[in-house]
Amino acid sequence: MFRVQAGNPWLDTLIVVTALEAATAVVGYAIGHLFLSLWLVTLAFLAWQLQYVLRLDRWLHQGGIAAPPDAPGIWGDVFNSLRRAQERHRRRRRTLADLLARSKQAADAVPDAVVVLGPRGELEWWNVAATRLLGLQAPRDAGQLAGALLRHPDFRTLLAADRYREALTIPSPVLPSVILEVRLVPFGERRRLLLARDVTRLVRLERMRRDFVANVSHELRTPLTVIHGVAETLVDSDEDGAAEQREALELLLQQTQRMRRLVEDLLLLSRLETTDASANQQVVAVAPLLQQLCQEAQTLSDGRHRIELNADATLALRGEESELRSAFSNLIINAVKYTPAGGEIRIDWRRIADGACLEVCDTGPGIAAEHLPRLTERFYRVDRGRSSRTGGTGLGLAIVKHVLHRHEGRLQIESELGVGSSFRCLFPASRLAVLT
Ligand code: ADP
């Protein structure tokens, strides 16, 4: 918008034009050619203006990259405005380019691979780490589909299913010794970020931890069996011994028994962690299994509790029987262990809307809400004293969680202090089988 102000070129030009036309009118009148003189002067003025329009047009045709031409008066004002706009534009472009370069430097400094995927899953952009960890090369791979370059079947499934919460652990397609944790993150309009992190060290440490626990447990098994055997023999052969000595031997027997259980649970846990869950699938008739576990619970309870079992005999599970037995047994034994005499224990195996549920309910002491999220951690106990008195290993619920995970199930715990607890194992419909 051009504004006419006192002292500005527009006003100056107006004054000059008016003065020129007035002078021309006087001279034209004097020589008797008033209109001709006015017309000629106006034409000359127009021609003078047109040459600047021509210069502006040429400058615009050259892309407006060079500095705009110099000119006096209003054209000088127009060209100066253009020059200022051009400089502002240049500065903004430089700032944007700097920002872009810095963002690219920052993305390249990230040790994790970052890949921008377009709406069809095509590669749009990636950082230096993506070249190193995933072998992506620019410009060769730009526009290629991610699934065609990273061919691991699990990755293709993740990509197709748009699962954003999951992280995959797969080997790098170019560095076989490197293990990557890969995840997808949605952003912008139908775009996704593919993030890949080198977790080789973590995976190795985790494997070392698992191997260490498994090896130690395995090595402890034989000496413990021997000690337990000797303790049993000593207890049996010391029937007439001093009460104090007998008490000590029984304590020894009791503790070696507890250590053996601990070692067995540790070995079971490491087996659950290290073996393939899909192996050894069978149809497990849950009702008879629960019947057996219920009888064992009656023996352990020794009449101190009322134990009730309701099991749908037609409902079976696809899975590994020994693992399911361990999980269910841990829940039922816990109910007996922690529920004081006179309490009730109810075991239910039934169909639910989207699968099946095994529920173990007791009228025991209950568990405070703050403990519930940590209950399935190894060796986590609400009350250390009570747990060790009951002879627990602290691994029972960790085993339950792992077994359920291997059977696509999940554990749901509800509990109220002073009222009781309910442990539910929920299995999806895909795991069910019907017995006739
Ligand atoms: P533990 O061998 O100590 O029983 P678990 O992993 O089986 O180990 O259980 C973890 C903790 O959860 C137990 O120490 C106990 O405090 C609590 N817990 C488990 N089941 C029950 C229950 N039915 N009632 C009350 N507390 C329970």
Q: DSSP secondary structure string, 46-107?
A: HHHHHHHHHHHHHHHHTTS-SPPPP-SHHHHHHHHHHHHHHHHHHHHHHHHHHHHHHHHHHH
C-alpha 425 chain-centroid distance: 25
d(CA 423, CA 362): 9
Chain centroid offset of residue 413 CA: 24
Q: What is the CATH number of domain 110-198?
A: 3.30.450.20
Q: Does residue 334 line the site of ligand 1, with CB under 6 A?
A: yes
365 lines ligand 1 (CB under 6 A): yes
Fill in the DSSP letter of residue 340.
P
Name the residue with the closest Cα to ligand 1, atom 16: 382
Ligand 1 centre to CA of 380 (Å) is 8
Q: Closest Cα to residue 344, out of 297, 287, 385?
A: 297
Kindly state if the Cβ of 387 falls inside 6 Å of ligand 1: yes
CB 319 within 8 A of CB 281: yes
- What is the reported pLDDT for 387? 63
CATH C-level class of 282-434: alpha beta
Atom nearest to 364 CA in ligand 1: 24
pLDDT score at 4: 44
Measured in Å, residue 271 CA sits from the centre of ligand 1 at 22
Strand order across the 191-198 sheet:
123-126, 113-117, 191-198, 179-187, 168-171
Nearest Cα neighbor of 423 from 372, 353, 368 is: 372
Sign of CA dihedral 132, 137, 138, 143: negative
Q: Say if ligand 1 is within 6 A of residue 372 CB.
A: no
CA distances from 87 to 70, 112, 257, 274, 337 (A): 16, 39, 85, 65, 82
| Residue 7: predicted pLDDT | 61
**Residue in this structure with the two tokens 């706009």, named with its chain if needed:** 85
As a residue count, the chain comes to 436
Tens of each residue's pLDDT in the chain, 436 residues: 444 444 677 888 889 889 999 999 999 999 999 999 999 999 998 999 899 899 888 888 887 777 777 888 888 888 888 888 888 999 999 999 999 999 999 999 999 999 999 999 999 999 999 999 999 998 899 999 998 888 888 888 888 887 787 888 999 999 989 999 999 999 888 899 999 999 999 999 999 998 999 999 999 999 999 999 998 888 888 777 788 888 888 889 888 998 999 999 999 999 898 887 765 679 999 999 999 999 999 999 999 999 999 999 999 999 999 999 999 999 999 999 999 999 999 999 999 999 999 999 999 999 999 999 999 999 998 877 766 666 778 999 999 999 999 999 999 999 999 999 999 999 999 999 988 7
Q: Are 253 and 238 in contact (CB under 8 A)?
A: no
Pull the structure tokens for residue 43. 């034409």
Q: What pLDDT, on the 0 to 100 scale, is given for residue 10?
A: 82
| Cα end-to-end distance, the chain, whole Å | 88
pLDDT at 1: 41
pLDDT at 249: 87
φ/ψ of 383, rounded to 5, equals -130, 100
Place of tokens 């005499």: 341
pLDDT, residue 6, reads: 47
Measure 430 CA to ligand 1 centroid, in angstroms. Answer: 30
CA of 394 to the centre of ligand 1 (A): 7
Report whether residue 367 contacts ligand 1, using a CB cutoff of 6 Å: yes
For ligand 1, say whether the CB of 330 is within 6 Å of any of its atoms: yes
The two three-digit tokens of residue 137, written as one number? 């090369």
Is residue 395 within 8 A of residue 323, CB to CB? The reply is no
CA nearest neighbour of 355 among 310, 327, 318: 318
Tell me the two tokens of residue 73: 């008066």
Q: Candidates 387, 419, 422, 424: which one to mutate for ligand 1, based on the most atoms within 8 Å of Cβ?
A: 387
**Residue indicated by tokens 């054209």:** 75
Give the C-alpha separation, 110 to 103, whole Å. Answer: 11
Ligand 1 atom nearest the C-alpha of 339 is 24
Q: For residue 202, give both structure tokens.
A: 């973590």
User: Is the separation of the CB atoms in 229 and 237 below 8 Å?
Assistant: no
Burial of 299 (0-12, 13-18, 19+ CB in 10 A): exposed
In the reported structure, the alpha carbon of residue 270 is separated from the centroid of ligand 1 by a whole-number distance in angstroms of 20
Specify whether the CB–CB gap between 258 and 391 falls below 8 A.
yes
Judged by phi (left if over 0) then psi (alpha if -120 to 50, else beta), residue 54 lies in alpha
